[in-house]
Amino acid sequence: MKEQRIAVLTYHKYPGEAWPEQEFRAHPVSLVNGEEVNLQLAERGVRLSNNLWVREVRQRSQSGAQSSILSTDYRSDLSRVAAAMFARWCQENFFRYMRQHYNLDRLAEYGVEPLPDTTRVINPAWRQLDSQIRRQNGLLSRQLVQFAETQLPQDLEPEQVQAYELSKGQLQQAIENRRQQIEQLKAQRKAVAKHLQVKDLPEKDRFQQLRAEKKHFLDTIKLIAYRAETALAQLAREKMHRLDDARSLIRQLFRTEVDLIPDQQNKNLTVRLHPLTTEVHDQVIRYLCEELTSTETVFPGTDLRLIYEIAGSC
């Protein structure tokens, strides 16, 4: 990826010892939602085990905890690297929210369809050999532990010492045999292609995929609905402190019944909402109605201008 001029950005799960506090400086960072924050950031150059030289950027929280980021973006400013990494939180929160409130993972239809012949998949023969190697490595690790824990006790009779040496010799021979078996499996795996196109798979190993047309269509509608909800939530934020509360209110609003009142003479279509559970929420909804009405949106397929109001507001 580096040769193709594509920068990599990832968290460093095991960064090691904490950096000294004096290395960190306050940097203004613009998050993807437009919010400006000041973060304590520091940077070092790090050479990985494969000799790749990368930037390590750390963010220090008020509690002293340090989050480490590794990147091959050598040009961007320190704050931009940090902002790009923290943007992952927005993506993770988005998918979590869509699964929770929009049922994004729901199976929309039953049925299967063949995969395109040019789709690259793991070679079943390679996967089988790889599985055998993993299993043998696990058995080898247990044998090595057993070998290391087998110690010669003191004050043994000569017959017991002879039995101990025989047992440990047999275990060592088993370890050597297993190592040879692993090397043979690795040689076989190396001679087998890891990936194949679907058309090159044996007939018994071919598989199909779930139909996706209807799910793609429904997911598109869900994404449009999410964007509409987000826009309304941002409007509600002007009257509310927390985004979560604003989203909760918008979800409640979507479940509220409305009256549609067309007025062909004046070319209006009034959307009259029913009051919510509290007056505080009704005040926020009135504000949303005023803002939406001011856009002078025309209902699709008609010449009726949309007017939003909450019952009892007049």
Sign of CA dihedral 41, 42, 43, 49: negative
Phi then psi dihedrals of residue 202, to 5 deg = -60, 150
- Please check the confidence at residue 152 and state whether its pLDDT lies above 70: no
Q: pTM of the full predicted structure?
A: 0.58
pLDDT band at 153 (very low <50, low <70, confident <90, very high): low
**Each residue's pLDDT tens digit, 9-43:** 888 888 889 999 999 999 998 877 667 888 899 99
DSSP 197: E
DSSP 201: S
Average pLDDT over residues 298-304: 93
Instruction: Return d(Cα 104, Cα 97) in angstroms, integer.
Output: 9
- Token readout for 169 is 């010799």
Question: Rounded to an integer, what distance in angstroms lies between the CA atom of residue 178 and that of residue 143?
Answer: 10
Q: How much is the average pLDDT of 53-67?
A: 91
pLDDT of residue 302: 92
Distance of CA 125 to the CA centre of its chain: 30
Burial group, residue 36, by CB count within 10 angstroms (0-12, 13-18, 19+): exposed
pLDDT (average), residues 78-89: 83
Cβ–Cβ under 8 Å, residues 60 and 24: yes
Residue 168 has pLDDT above 90, yes or no: no
Give the model's pLDDT for residue 171: 87
pLDDT at 154: 66
Give the pLDDT mean for 189-208. Answer: 88
Name the percent of the chain lying above pLDDT 70: 96
Lowest mean pLDDT among 42-46, 61-65, 90-94, 158-162: 158-162
Residue 202's pLDDT is 85
What backbone torsions phi and psi does residue 193 show, to the nearest 5 degrees? -65, 135
- DSSP line for 113-157: EEPPTT-EEE-HHHHHHHHHHHHHHHHHHHHHHHHHH----SS--
Q: Tens digits of per-residue pLDDT, 228-281?
A: 999 999 999 999 988 889 999 999 999 888 999 999 999 999 999 998 888 999
pLDDT at 213: 84
Could you tell me how far CA 219 lies from the centroid of its own chain? 18
Tokens of residue 50, six digits: 């494969």
Q: Which residues pair with 260 in a beta bridge?
A: 271
The neighbouring-strand residues paired with 259 are 272
- Report the distance separating Cα 86 and Cα 84, nearest Å: 6
DSSP character for 298? B
163/201: higher pLDDT: 201
Task: Name the band, by pLDDT with cuts 50, 70 and 90, for residue 156.
Answer: low
pLDDT confidence of residue 41: 94
Considering only 41-45, 46-50, 123-127, 292-296, which range has the smallest mean pLDDT? 46-50
Cα 223 off chain centre by: 17
Rg for the chain (alpha carbons), in Å?
32
pLDDT of residue 33: 65
Average pLDDT of the chain is: 88
Structure tokens at 31: 């998050």
Q: Is the pLDDT of residue 117 over 70?
A: yes
Is residue 308 predicted with pLDDT exceeding 70? yes
283 CA to centre of own chain: 37
Q: What is the mean pLDDT of residues 189-218?
A: 87
- Among 92, 98, 23, 93, smallest CA distance to 59 is for 23
pLDDT at 259: 93
